[in-house]
Amino acid sequence: CRLGELDAALDAIDKWAECGSLRSGLAVEDKNHQHQSPIPSFKWIQAQGDDDTNTTILNRRDIALTTVGDLRVFEPADVSLLRAAADKHFAQTAGQQTSRYTMQYEGNSEVHLDDLCSADPDLKLRIDRILQEKVYPLVRVAFGEDEDEPEPKGSICVYDSIFVRYNAEQAKAAGLRGASQPLHQDGGIYSVNIALNEHLDDSENGFTGGGTF
């Protein structure tokens, strides 16, 4: 094809790659949205070597980030709203898995956030607002600083989002060390994990472990 047609085709492929494969009905980033609220602060987690020599320190690289400070991605009211919707869903399905994913461990209950939002308009509005005001801006600020991987030119969107409720006792009874996800690689460019429980360091009823590999 002619050069102009090739450029147009490449632009179409770029748009499809960023949002065209979108399965989620959650809000796509509005790049014209004026962000009135602050975004959560964060720090980078670095890959570390086997020792603390200067060479090892210089070769460390950023591999993930974690939010810090008092500003949460989900406020307690948001967590309560989401957990209530999930509990209602799990009660209605009577333990039957409705997740489209086939790799599931014993003790996990999974539901796609789309399914929860389609049954609860208030939850949908709240999740969309959190995406626009906190999650999307945080991704742009954090990864826009990386010269090797510049921020996406198009709008950021959710490829898929899943709510997982873990049961450590059932997992251990099934022979697992604890509740977790099977080792996998997400299909999106960026992965965002949001804990809906306190860690043991912050609450006597909190969990231990967790994280990504």
State residue 20's pLDDT score. Answer: 46
d(CA 35, CA 139): 14
49: Cβ–Cβ under 8 A, 6 or more apart, which residues? Answer: 56, 57, 59, 60
State residue 76's pLDDT score. Answer: 92
State residue 113's pLDDT score. Answer: 93
In three state form, how does the secondary structure of 51-79 look? CCCHHHHHCCEEEEEEEECCCCCCCHHHH
State residue 17's pLDDT score. Answer: 52
State residue 52's pLDDT score. Answer: 53
Q: Global pTM?
A: 0.77
Q: Which residues pair with 66 in a beta bridge?
A: 43
Ordered alpha helix ranges (H), the chain = 3-15, 54-58, 76-93, 113-118, 121-130, 136-143, 168-173
In order along its 213 residues, the chain shows pLDDT tens digits of: 455 566 676 566 555 555 444 468 899 998 887 667 788 999 988 876 555 555 555 567 778 888 998 899 999 999 999 999 999 999 998 867 666 766 677 778 889 999 999 999 999 999 999 999 999 999 988 887 666 666 667 888 898 898 988 888 888 888 888 788 877 778 788 889 998 888 777 777 677 777 666
The two structure tokens encoding residue 203:
């609450």
Collapsing DSSP to helix, strand or coil, 126 comes out as helix
d(CA 13, CA 20): 9
